[in-house]
Structure 1
């Protein structure tokens, strides 16, 4: 099995404002989606990200980020296992972020020999 990084992208500013009940329903959709991947023994890990942070550049330049002028922000990431890019893509087709205009970028992670299991 190969590992794939899923980057969840959406526009924070255009996301619908949800009531507490709607947020709970949305959270449940995400939990169900992750549980479906985990049930196939293909979930590795991941998390959501806050909408604030810093960007560090060469020359001791530190900026507030992510950039407000960029329409899509990375909202979170997940690592999954799949036999191929096509299989990873099939696992993403029901991702809850797609329902509100977001998207998922899928990238295969190279096996560089740096994983914790190999270094233990």
Structure 2
């Protein structure tokens, strides 16, 4: 358990600084192309426990390349890091207990909002997400306005 918490904390520290800087770079677009684009949410899941510090450094460097490219192309909108454990509320009584929901050993660690013309284009963009090389998954959903 300590290993999971340590890996998640390290992951959070590395990524939080990076995504905070990236969020400052984004600005609303007024181009005609973006008026026809839809917004999609990429939901990233991974098991951070087996990641070594050098893996996290590698992922961070690769994310910088991807997000810089998406920002230059006006694809990147915003991102959220969700690496710390939280509280899970469940049942009719609203029972709360510390933790997070995981599926098949993976848990949500971040979301990124991007612009794309279609769900297929957004899925194509998601194929370059660095977490995929470390056993992660990316779920792509259209954001409703």
> TM-score scaled by structure 2?
0.67
Structure 2, unmatched stretches of 5+, are 1-36
Q: Aligned ranges for residues 81-100 of structure 1 at < 5 Å?
A: 81-100=115-134
Structure 2 SS opposite 1:97: helix
Structure number with greater CO (CA < 8 Å, separation at least 6) is 1
Q: Which whole-Å CA distance do the structure 2 matches of 1:41 and 1:68 have between them?
A: 32
Which ranges in structure 1 are unaligned for 5 or more consecutive residues?
112-120
Give the aligned length.
108
Greater helix share, 1 or 2? Answer: 2
Q: TM-score, normalised by structure 1?
A: 0.80
Match of 2:108 in 1: 74
The verdict on how the C-alpha distance between 1:12 and 1:110 changes in structure 2, with shifts beyond 3 A counting, is: same
The DSSP-based 3-state class of the residue aligned with 2:51 is coil
Partner of 1:10: 46
Aligned CA RMSD, in angstroms, stands at: 1.8
